[in-house]
Amino acid sequence: SAVISQKPSRDICQRGTSLTIQCQVDSQVTMMFWYRQQPGQSLTLIATANQGSEATYESGFVIDKFPISRPNLTFSTLTVSNMSPEDSSIYLCSVGGDTSYEQYFGPGTRLTVT
């Protein structure tokens, strides 16, 4: 399984600012995903990060709010823009198996917006 790291592990930000979260994988992977896990809730998929093309966003999430980059097969970033307290959450990066559907997760980034 892939080893996934995320930076930062946590941050406290002021409303109106933006934060970029990095996700690094130790091997090349095709599928990368970004999730949000709000306090006491399950995982919600934000978008699929596609290498070489725009990310595919789920309903309720838009590129202007959550721009994603995927410059190569081992790295992706998620930016949370113009933050509000409602964006306080854990943001998770995951990668999918190339031949199966299981996913492997990063440690998460805990974001608090004040």
Partner 1 sequence: AQRVTQPEKLLSVFKGAPVELKCNYSYSGSPELFWYVQYSRQRLQLLLRHISRESIKGFTADLNKGETSFHLKKPFAQEEDSAMYYCALSGADTGGFKTIFGAGTRLFVKA
| Torsion region of 25: left, alpha or beta (phi above 0 gives left; psi -120 to 50 gives alpha) | beta
**DSSP secondary structure letters along 3-44:** -EEEE-SEEEE-TT--EEEEEEESS--S-EEEEEE-TT--EE
Shortest spacing between CB 68 and partner 1, in angstroms: 14
Check residue 92 for interaction with partner 1 (CB under 8 A): yes
Check residue 91 for interaction with partner 1 (CB under 8 A): no
Pick one of 56, 82, 84, 112: the residue that binds partner 1 (CB under 8 A): 56
Check residue 31 for interaction with partner 1 (CB under 8 A): yes
Amino acid type, 103? Q
Residues that bind partner 1 (CB under 8 A): 1, 31, 33, 41-43, 45, 48, 56, 92, 96, 100-108
